Structure 1
Amino acid sequence: MLRTIRSNCLLRFYNHCPLRKCLRTFLSESYSCTEVWNRRYESPLLSKVNPRNLYFELEENLQSTGKISAVDVDIFINTVKDPEFVDEVMSTVHQLRLSAETGKTLESTHHAFIRYLLDIKNENLLLEVLHDRLNYGIFPDHYSYNLLMDRFIKEKNFASAAKVATLLMLQEDSENNLCNALGIYSCYKFLENPEDWMPPTPIVPDPKEEVVKVRVNYLRNPFFDDHFDLTEPKHLVGKSLVFFGKLYNDTLGRTCQLRGYILWLKYEQAVKLIKSWIDDGINEIIYKEVVPLIEKELSEINEDKITDDVKELKIQFEKLKNLSLKDGSVIDEMEKRLHDVVKQMEAIEMNNQCQTFEKWENARMNLLEKQIDELDKKRRLENAEKIKRNLQERERLLTFFDREEEIELQIERKLAAEEAEFGPVIEVSAENEENYVPPEVQKSIQK
């Protein structure tokens, strides 16, 4: 009886404890599948690999042949543990990206690279690499996206979580419901402290630095694709809110779309959206709590940037404020939905990922065996070619006297061809060697 009372008291305390959210946010600790992931070190292949020696072999092969193997890079990335290998890991991934083998990059390479930088707590470098797809080509899968966003959310680092969420928008990837729920939550939480993600510092040329002008065939017209060229944090987050908001055909989705278009500076689209909602007579169009937030965004627009679209947006928003709006908290609704999605998908994704780890191991072994077979085949062909050349050389020596006349004829034909191309051969005796003048020089002297 006493044990039951104590258990009920502890449960009641846990449910009402203000630190409950600090104990666990959304995904459980077991979602990372760390124990299963670390079993790769026990595999017959990776357990025998010394990452330092392998790196030197990769560098030596790259210097001598100019080639790098995607399988070898995968083995190296999957075996490295120590933080001191950061430069080597970065260099290897970059070299692979620049090579023709980049299209053969294994899925486990992307995941291992992300887990490595997470384990050594170098999140800033990781985010830099993920956003520099051209030079490194690291693309997370859905499981890695969830792992990253949940990690940053637990650390209250919503700026980094939003940076990961914008990658989903840039890839236009909305296939995973858990990614979508974490992504829209990360972007919305980031807006509470947007100063945590500052825009890139513009490069100002040094007036004292010498200007080097280079002649080019033609100048490209400046082009801005309004997608991959976006660098302003609010624009990226705004477009991400629009992207994720379109997935929810309800008050939450409409709220995110409206805030997103305004942050993205797409005032004309925001006006069209509000008019369509009003014309359709939708109830509880947006959450009432975002009204002051949107008004603040509109009030911060510089006077020189107030266009007709901005004026129209303010008029339509005033109409929207007087309609039926929904009470409640956007964040609470997002958290509720996120918990529901986690409850549905967490166990399934963990099971699928454990199976994926096993598939990666098998795929790595198969590709390595195939690579070894190809190298062995190449080596045997080279040996056969070498033996063939040796036999031909030996045959020439053994049959020289039998084919002496034929060989002399070949020599005469070759000399005749050289004489026709370069002129007759002039023999110079030792007596007049010092006074010898080449024919070309003689012609120039005569002229």
Structure 2
Amino acid sequence: MSFFTKLYSNIHFVPRCGRITQVRKYLSDRYGAIGETISKREQNTDMPVVCLSLDRCHEKNFPISSLMIDRMVATIDSAEHLHGSQYYLHKFRYSENGYFLRPWTVYTYVDKCLKYDTQILMECLKNKQHYGIFPDQICFNKVLDHFMKKNDLKGGVEVLAEMFLLEMLDNKTCHALSLKVLSQYWEANVAQGNVVPDFTDVVEKRNIAGVLYCVGGFLSNPSIMVMGQSLLGQIEAEHGIRAIYQEPWGPLSWEPGYLDRALSHLETSNSVISEECANILLHCAEQQGSDSDTLVRVKEVSNNLRERSLVSSDETLTLNGAANKLLSCLEVNEGHDMDSFKQTADEWIKERDILIEIESQILKEYSNERERVFQEMEIDDKAHLMAVERLGFWDLAKSEEVDVSDQIFYLRKDYVEGAMYDLDILERYREICGSTKEPVILI
């Protein structure tokens, strides 16, 4: 593929006010490079060495700090390393320090996954409670954009589902990308003569409907929101209200009557909806039976809207048209995201430098304490041996073995460098920054 072919494949054109307007389909390379200042850092070791220390900590039941995990993630430089990292993330998640995985570590890990193997990322996202990978909105936008550029609609919809479940849809850049992914997915999966794709998975249908409903609400777009409500109403009628919010869990209201609320909104609103939205609303009502009260009401509301000229065939009101309209503002929204993240990244770098300095101080204190304790133990052993030689109790010459389980972990002779509790680091950090102490509840 030539340079110009690749360039213009990321651009399409939409009519606006009688002229052709150029609109980007994807995020810029600058947006994709967000977080590189966090991910790129000098490493004095490689991943096998770091993992060896982590394994020794696991064997000896020493605490693994979030900074040790951060170094492990930073040293990933191949798909094999990435596959092996899942084990350590899982072990860390269920350790005493499992609640302290740093946000820049998550950014670095996501970048590594996008570079080497996105399937690992999807597995971590779908099992986020076991790996502790909870990206923010900007990080999610990068992942979604990655799947869009690969023309992987299924992967893009799966990412959208995770964003929906984590309630990460209130971002303008996300609105443009999510509607574009759904419009492409819709077009690719809807059969000729139908208005709704033939969903085989109720959970997938619920997630897509939830995204439409939430994004439509954020945009105050009645067409998109009613499309989502209609699909949710169909699921409610066929599978019950629990299939919407509980089986599996989803951040949606457990109050029944999604289709009724959509109709009530259309009855009291003067907003124009698309022909696409009206057809989907009618389709979802027809699934409840040709003689159902809901279908009768839908037809009455639809006829009323048409009489008031509130149903339009304007392409800009459709799902694809709304996506293209948002994409026309993508560059501006990108700029806002990048400006916001730059400040966040600076704060992260500053915090990370402070934490590393605190770690060095604690390790130095551990070393001094170990040296003092070992010297005292050596003196005690010499005094014991002298007493045995003077009194002749040779059967007591051999010192008793010390139970290491009762020792403080960093005073053990087999201590692994770097092992410490994140709460100790956090307390020092609060003292340095003068931040208010908040309760930390470990379950």
TM-score by length of 1: 0.67
2:68 aligned residue (63, 68, 72) = 72
Output one character per residue of 1:194-228: Cα deviation in whole Å (capped at 9) or x when no partner. 5999878xxxxxxxxxxxxxxxxxxxxxxxxxxxx
2:277 aligned residue (271, 290, 306) = 290
Whether contact under 8 Å (2:137, 2:168) holds in the other structure is no
5+ long unaligned stretches in structure 1: 1-10, 201-230, 405-447
Output one character per residue of 1:339-383: Cα deviation in whole Å (capped at 9) or x when no partner. 244232212322443454444344333222322321221232233
Aligned-residue RMSD, C-alpha: 3.7
Output one character per residue of 1:97-123: Cα deviation in whole Å (capped at 9) or x when no partner. 111212111111111111111112x22
Specify the alignment match of 1:385 in structure 2: 373
Tell me which of the two structures has the higher relative contact order, counting C-alpha pairs closer than 8 angstroms and 6 or more residues apart.
2
1:327 aligned residue (290, 309, 313) = 313
Q: Distance in 2 between matches of 1:56 and 1:162?
A: 38
Q: Distance in 1 between matches of 2:170 and 2:146?
A: 21
Specify the alignment match of 2:56 in structure 1: 60
Q: Distance in 2 between matches of 1:155 and 1:343?
A: 20
Specify the alignment match of 1:37 in structure 2: 36
Specify the alignment match of 1:222 in structure 2: none
Shift of residue 39 of structure 1?
8.2
Q: Distance in 2 between matches of 1:99 and 1:197?
A: 44
Write the letter of the residue equivalent to 1:37. Answer: E
1:317 corresponds to 2:317: no
1:116 corresponds to 2:112: yes
Shift of residue 148 of structure 1?
1.4
CA change 1:319–1:254 in 2 (3 A) is farther
Output one character per residue of 1:52-103: Cα deviation in whole Å (capped at 9) or x when no partner. 2212222222222343221111122122121121221111211111112121
Write the letter of the residue equivalent to 1:331. Answer: L
Q: Secondary structure at the match of 1:104?
A: coil
5+ long unaligned stretches in structure 2: 1-7, 191-196, 238-255, 392-443
Q: Distance in 2 between matches of 1:91 and 1:184?
A: 35
Q: Distance in 1 between matches of 2:259 and 2:38?
A: 51
Write the letter of the residue equivalent to 1:56. Answer: L
Q: Distance in 1 between matches of 2:343 and 2:219?
A: 31
Specify the alignment match of 1:241 in structure 2: 212
1:153 corresponds to 2:142: no
Q: Distance in 1 between matches of 2:14 and 2:276?
A: 26
CA change 1:382–1:307 in 2 (3 A) is farther
Specify the alignment match of 2:222 in structure 1: 251
Comparing 98-107 and 183-192, the one that deviates more: 183-192
Specify the alignment match of 1:101 in structure 2: 97
Comparing 109-118 and 350-359, the one that deviates more: 350-359
Q: Distance in 2 between matches of 1:130 and 1:335?
A: 25
Specify the alignment match of 1:172 in structure 2: 167
Specify the alignment match of 1:338 in structure 2: 326
TM-score by length of 2: 0.67
Q: Distance in 2 between matches of 1:392 and 1:244?
A: 71
Output one character per residue of 1:9-50: Cα deviation in whole Å (capped at 9) or x when no partner. xx9xx98699x999951322222127x717854x4xx33232
2:335 aligned residue (347, 364, 383) = 347
Comparing 71-80 and 373-382, the one that deviates more: 373-382
Specify the alignment match of 1:424 in structure 2: none
Output one character per residue of 1:257-285: Cα deviation in whole Å (capped at 9) or x when no partner. 4344235436722113203421x25242x
Write the letter of the residue equivalent to 1:366. Answer: I
Specify the alignment match of 1:27 in structure 2: 27
Specify the alignment match of 2:404 in structure 1: none
Aligned residues: 348
Shift of residue 144 of structure 1?
1.0
Q: Distance in 1 between matches of 2:262 and 2:352?
A: 50
Specify the alignment match of 1:430 in structure 2: none
Q: Distance in 2 between matches of 1:164 and 1:170?
A: 10
CA change 1:276–1:343 in 2 (3 A) is same
